[in-house]
Amino acid sequence: MIPKVDRTFSDLIRHLICLVLTVVIIQLSAAAQAQLAANATFTRADTLRGMLTPMRSCYDVKFYELELRVDVKRRFITGNNGIYFEAVQNFDSLQIDLTQKFKIEKITYQGSELIYRRDLNAVIVKFPETQFKGSKGIIRCYYSGAPIVAKSPPWDGGFVWKKDANNKDWVGVACEGAGASTWWPCKDHLSDEPDSMAISFIVPSDLVCVSNGNLRGVEKYEDGTTKWNWFVSYPINNYNVTLNLADYSHFEDLYLEDRDTLNLDYYVLAANIGQAKSHFSQVKPMLACFEEYFGPYPFMDDGFALVETNYWGMEHQGAIAYGNNYENNKSGFDYIIIHESAHEWWGNNISCADMADLWIHESFATYAEALYVECMQGKQAAIDYLVSQKWQITDAYPIIGPYNVNYQGAKQDNDLYYKGSWMLHTFRNVLADDTLFFKIIKGIQEHFRHSTVTTDLIVEYINEQAGKDFTPFFDQYLRHASPPVLEYRIEKKGTDAKLEYRWNVAVNNFAMPVEVTSSYDYSFGKQNKTYVRISPTKEWQTILLPGLKPENFDVNTDMYYVKKKLIR
């Protein structure tokens, strides 16, 4: 997903006065946001949705078989989902999830109807006999109703019902955060992904239906509807399952990757096909860059697709939602294409097991934008790109939110994106070894391929590969609102400057190198600084900076996201 920024306003911020006003507003609201997070209250519904309770942990989903009939005129869906499971523990009851907006017609198992009861948006299903550990089975939930309509997609989840310029229906869905259970029954917990999935939609025959994976067949019916059968051959997190329905035109291409070929498919409104063919030329260079940094595209057999949508964008696996009106940013690329496609690695190949750890998706995908700039335009251009985003960081509250409640608060805060990106940029410069840095992030992709992860697993892997414990570093940036603050005293000492310094941080055993000014020259209207690397801890240290005037002291904030504070 992308940070919640109004498209029109983001254009206006190019003007200085709007930029200043926006920064002021963010600063004033930061305290309120922090208070809101601190005082957040969670309901039983949040726990049922977000916690891996015994009635969820007792079984593992192996496969979903979803079939839906979409009545566009009534904005109504009818269907069923087969949930193929394996018992992890002995149980006689399990929980699936489906919003109360839907009527459950029946739930079946081995040809018989099962007893079930609702607990808010959770559905507790009772089996007639114990399901023993290691056994396998299939339950099928039949249901119908009008799905939730998204108020502000993709941030507020649900269906999007619109018309194109020719008054043809244009339907989509985006449900990150709100969850897949807003429109189909499933075990709606990020920790459990099916190994594969069959997806079928029965829709009006004058529209094209696009979902995830590969199209396996189309069946036309006499009632004027057509059934589109899609198949995902890899694990997929639930919120990435998608429906796109429109009067699409389709064109395709191939991306050659060493010994393999990746199918590229593009579904766009017919009026936009010429523009799309030119604009989507960004895809191949992007894939080459991301494969250099992150490793091979994770879903080669299912292909890569961009699907034009009536909302801004979403990282639906293998069917990236694109709705940025074919616009490039000031850096010369379409950041919706770049950001959402980066999620194929960060969010789809590896997925967080709890919404509280969503930084694993968004921080890496946002930093991937800068890495794309670096790949295409060079390192300084990437730094300039990062600096241009820094003003959007609020330091309002920790990037990691509460666990086990499907926490969505941080998703609305830009720190999940930009502060997390700057954390990774800072970590890269703390390592001061690009070979090691890129070995680590590529290794994360390979080591955790097609699986769900936690912050602890990611940090543990980084520590192993780096040969050093960086847990305090990540704890400070992820679990506390404030970044490290470099407190310092500086005074003139002859022709030199005497610097005393320490970190003010909440985390014990925190020690992080940073670069500070070692010399300063202002000539020809340009500041020329050189830096020396120091290694502050929480204890005061002293260093002499030869020839530096105290008023010219600075921290290299192009390479590190830290604050500084002069102690009088």
The tens digit of pLDDT for each residue in 289-332 reads 999 999 999 999 999 999 999 999 999 999 999 999 999 999 99
- 392 in the same domain as 349: yes
- 334 in the same domain as 262: yes
Peptide bond into 154 cis (omega under 30): yes
Judged against a pLDDT cut of 70, whether residue 255 lies above it is answered with: yes
- The backbone region for 347, taken as left when phi is positive above 0, alpha when psi lies in -120 to 50, beta otherwise, is left
Final residue of a structural domain among 456, 480, 504:
480
- 420 in the same domain as 324: yes
- 433 in the same domain as 373: yes
pTM of model > 0.85: yes
Whether the Cβ atoms of residue 70 and residue 243 lie closer than 8 Å to each other: yes
Does 241 map to a domain?
no
The tens digit of pLDDT for each residue in 275-295 reads 999 999 999 999 999 999 999
- 435 in the same domain as 287: yes
Per-residue pLDDT averaged across 532-551, rounded?
96
CA-based end-to-end distance of the chain = 44
Per-residue pLDDT averaged across 233-238, rounded?
98
- 491 in the same domain as 401: no
Q: How many domains does the chain have?
A: 2
- 353 in the same domain as 467: yes
Per-residue pLDDT averaged across 148-154, rounded?
94
Does 467 map to a domain?
yes
Q: Residue 492: which domain range?
A: 485-566
Mean of the per-residue pLDDT values of the chain: 92
Final residue of a structural domain among 480, 507, 535:
480
Q: What's 461's domain CATH number?
A: 1.10.390.10
Q: What's 492's domain CATH number?
A: 2.60.40.1840
- 544 in the same domain as 423: no
In this prediction, residue 519 carries a pLDDT of 86
| Residues whose CB is less than 8 angstroms from the CB of residue 336 and which lie 6 or more positions away in sequence, other chains included | 2, 312, 313, 322, 323, 324
Final residue of a structural domain among 453, 480, 507:
480
**Distance in angstroms (rounded) separating the CA atoms of residues 318 and 253:** 15
Does 455 map to a domain?
yes
In this prediction, residue 562 carries a pLDDT of 98
Per-residue pLDDT averaged across 486-514, rounded?
97
In this prediction, residue 257 carries a pLDDT of 78
Judged against a pLDDT cut of 60, whether residue 34 lies above it is answered with: no
Does 288 map to a domain?
yes
Tokens representing 258 are 């060493």
Measuring CA to CA, which residue among 106, 105, 123 is closest to residue 114? 106
Judged against a pLDDT cut of 60, whether residue 419 lies above it is answered with: yes
Confidence label for 24 from pLDDT (cuts 50, 70 and 90): very low
Does 13 map to a domain?
yes
- 538 in the same domain as 499: yes
- 541 in the same domain as 411: no
- 458 in the same domain as 334: yes
- 469 in the same domain as 528: no
Q: What is the DSSP letter of 399?
A: S
